[in-house]
Amino acid sequence: AVERTLVIIKPDAVKKNAVGDIIRIFQENDLKLLAIKMVHLTKEQAKKFYIVHKDRPFYDELTDFMSSGPCVPMVLEGENAIARVREIIGATDPAKAAEGTIRKKYGTDVGRNAVHASDSPESAAYEIPFFFNQLEIHEQ
């Protein structure tokens, strides 16, 4: 099925000037870019975005990092997009990410891992409207 997924280029990858390369990789994989912006999240906004992780030991570190600088959320669309994007980005821990994946190329460690992507249709349904309203999502 055609799906939409939310990807965030995280503050570490923005600082590395990797935004253009990361967008190119998705587009070369036949994922349509329907929405994109640059935002500097507050700590409170980062906590709300990652609310599913609120009881994890890394919640405070994760939300500190995600509010440490600008990030680039985007909506991508394509056949089986949720699983396919997760393959393209690679394992959460860049040290375990496969050769050729975005996290292998740009990630530093499990916290600073360059990108986030929705892990299920339910996550995408929460994450896409967190950043984008209907007028900001452009059907193609």
Q: Is 92 in the site for ligand CMP (CB under 6 A)?
A: yes
User: According to the annotation, is 86 in a ligand binding site?
Assistant: yes
Q: Name the residue with tokens 């609310």.
A: 51
138 secondary structure, DSSP code: -
In the complex with ligand CMP, the residue whose CB is nearer, 4 or 116, is 116
User: What Å distances lie between residue 81 and 27, 41, 57, 99, 117, CA to CA?
Assistant: 12, 25, 30, 20, 10
Q: Is 111 in the site for ligand CMP (CB under 6 A)?
A: yes
Q: Is 62 in the site for ligand CMP (CB under 6 A)?
A: yes
Q: Is 91 in the site for ligand CMP (CB under 6 A)?
A: no
Active site annotation includes 116: yes
User: According to the annotation, is 10 in a ligand binding site?
Assistant: yes
Min CB(52)–ligand CMP separation in Å:
9
H-run or E-run covering 15? helix 11-15
Compute the distance between CA of residue 49 and CA of residue 39 in angstroms, rounded to an integer.
Answer: 13
Strands 2-9 and 115-117: antiparallel
137: closest CA among 1, 6, 47?
A: 6
User: According to the annotation, is 103 in a ligand binding site?
Assistant: yes
Q: Is 122 in the site for ligand CMP (CB under 6 A)?
A: no
Q: Binding site for ATP, residues?
A: 10, 58, 86, 92, 103, 113
Residues binding ligand CMP (CB under 6 A): 53, 58, 61-62, 92, 110-111, 113, 116
Annotated catalytic residues are 116
